Structure 1
Amino acid sequence: CSPCREGTGWMEKILKKIEYGKGELKDIDLLWDIQRKIEGNTICPLGDAAAWPVAAAIRHFRDEFEWHVLHPEECLARNYGLAHYADPIENSVTT
Structure 2
Amino acid sequence: MNDNHPLSAWSTYTRTVFIAFAAIALVLITYEHRVHVLGILPWLLILACPLMHLFMHHGHGGHSGHDHAGHGTGAALPKKETDDV
For this structure pair, what is the TM-score category when the shorter chain's length is used for normalisation? under 0.3
* Normalised TM-score (structure 2): 0.25
- Which has the bigger relative contact order, CA under 8 A and spacing at least 6? 1
Normalized per residue, the structure richer in helix is 1
Rg comparison, structure with higher value: 2
